[in-house]
Amino acid sequence: MQPAELIDEELLDCWSVTEKSFSMFTEHRNLTWTLRLLLLSGVFCKEWNVKYQDSVCAVKGSAVVIPCSFDYPEKEKVKDVMWGHEKYNIFEGPFIWTGMSNDSSRFQYIGNKLHNCSLIIKQVEHNDTGKYAFRFITKSKNGKWTGAEGSILKIVDLQTVVTNTDRHGAIKEGDSVNVTCRKSCDGGNISSAFIWIKNGKSIYEGPSLYWRDISPANSGNYTCSLKAHSETTSGVVNINVEYGPKNTSGSVRPSTEVDDGSNFILTCSSSANPPVENYTWFKVDDDKDIKIVGDKSELHFREVSVAAGGRYLCSATNRHGSQNSTIVTLKVKAHFPYIFILATAAAALLIVAAVIAVTRFNKKRAEKPEADHVEDQQETPSNTLYLNWPRSENSNEGNQCEEQNIECVYTTIDFNTKRKSNMRRQMDSHNNDEGVIYSMVQFPLKH
């Protein structure tokens, strides 16, 4: 350190010597004599001194301490201390801190009035960069001293460095990726006093994040921060993991079964980063023949025929690859005309009516007398003659013949192919005699 400057004309005798030496230097007098006086002033003034750390580096948002110490003659007592910045006059002020400063200020004196003159600056900003100087005043008449050389403060940002060990450019799923937090204050050396934050949430403590096999789940916004000052953060680095199409699927709306003449929509969906660039729909025939039916994620079909039915699948593609969906089967049902439907319904009604009629007819037949029922069940082949021989001795039909002492035999010939019931024949005999021949044969009665 060079000797400090005496800034008051009446401070001590050494100030007079220094003043004379600078005056002589200014007037360009003998250089040898000037140097002698300067050395002499250093001897006289060696008890007045302020020592700094040449430079101090801090990360933006953190708190930084500027170390400082000072000396003065034993007979002196320090009355006031203050700190100045080069953007103001470091000898006359205004000062960034004085003994009257508010403790809530970002600048806080952590020294004393003996020999420690250190200053702390909280939440440093880039405009805090520059030279800081310490000044103290003793109780002696006009005793003032300033360490003119000061200490240089440098403000830097935390930096995150992303390294893709597998490739250059975009990060792809499966790559090995390293993200390191650095601060230029230590020459770019890695410091372990960091914490890592992903999307606003603390996830790790240490200088680096490393993924041997990175996945899409690792995508996000990352920052690093000083462990001792969590409000001090680096800039945001975005980790964007790219990947080929995944979870590709095809679907049919409104249903996988539709009528011919109706409409349906084929929709293909897939997850990919970057997004899917191309969609392609295929139809797979039974003979394994594959035909392209469209190159959009959504295909609209209108008034389709039965031939539109079949098996479909879609393919999704981006720059990292492609993926096929599973097969979706569409059934198109034939559409019958309304006339056919009405005819079918009418035929069904006729069948029902016939069944009801037959049922009622059978019911009426079941209600006839037993004899007629048995006789009605007898059938003969066509063109067969029926003869009735009412010769029963107990018959009352022979009363007339008995009066004449003869035996009567009555024969009825029916030319119908089917026999009628007794009741029906009697009714027919009264109403119509056509088709019937009556004959009477007389036999003498035996005595």
Integer angstrom CA distances of residue 285 from 43, 199, 313, 327, 354? 106, 49, 11, 12, 48
**Backbone φ, ψ for residue 122 (5° rounding):** -95, 145
By three-state DSSP, how is residue 362 classified? helix
DSSP string, 182-250: EEGGGTT-B-S-EEEEETTEEEEESSEEEESS--GGG-EEEEEEESS-TT-B---EEE-EEEEEEEEEE
Tokens 């008890």 correspond to 47
Whole-number Å distance between alpha carbons of 231 and 249: 46
Rounded alpha-carbon distances, angstroms, from residue 310 to 203, 239, 283, 313? 51, 44, 7, 10
- Is residue 390 a contact partner of residue 397, using CB atoms and an 8 Å limit? yes
What predicted TM-score, i.e. pTM, was given to this entire model? 0.53
* Residue closest to 154 by CA, chosen among 111, 195, 183: 183
Which residue from 170, 327, 312, 322 is spatially nearest to 246, judged by alpha carbons?
Answer: 322
**What is the residue type of 67?**
P
For residue 302, list its beta bridge partners. Answer: none
SS3 333: strand
Q: Where are the alpha helices (DSSP H) in 306-337?
A: none
For residues 137 and 77, give the distance between their C-alpha atoms in angstroms, rounded to a whole number: 9
pLDDT in tens, the chain (447 residues): 333 333 333 333 343 333 333 333 333 334 443 334 333 344 445 588 999 998 898 888 888 899 999 999 988 999 999 999 999 998 888 999 988 766 668 999 999 999 999 999 998 999 999 999 999 999 987 788 999 899 999 998 888 889 988 776 789 999 999 999 887 776 555 555 789 999 989 999 988 999 999 999 999 999 998 887 777 788 889 999 999 999 999 999 999 999 888 999 999 999 999 999 999 999 998 767 788 999 999 999 998 888 899 999 999 999 999 999 999 999 998 866 555 666 677 788 888 888 888 887 777 777 655 545 444 444 444 444 444 444 444 444 445 455 555 555 554 445 444 444 444 444 454 444 444 444 444 445 444
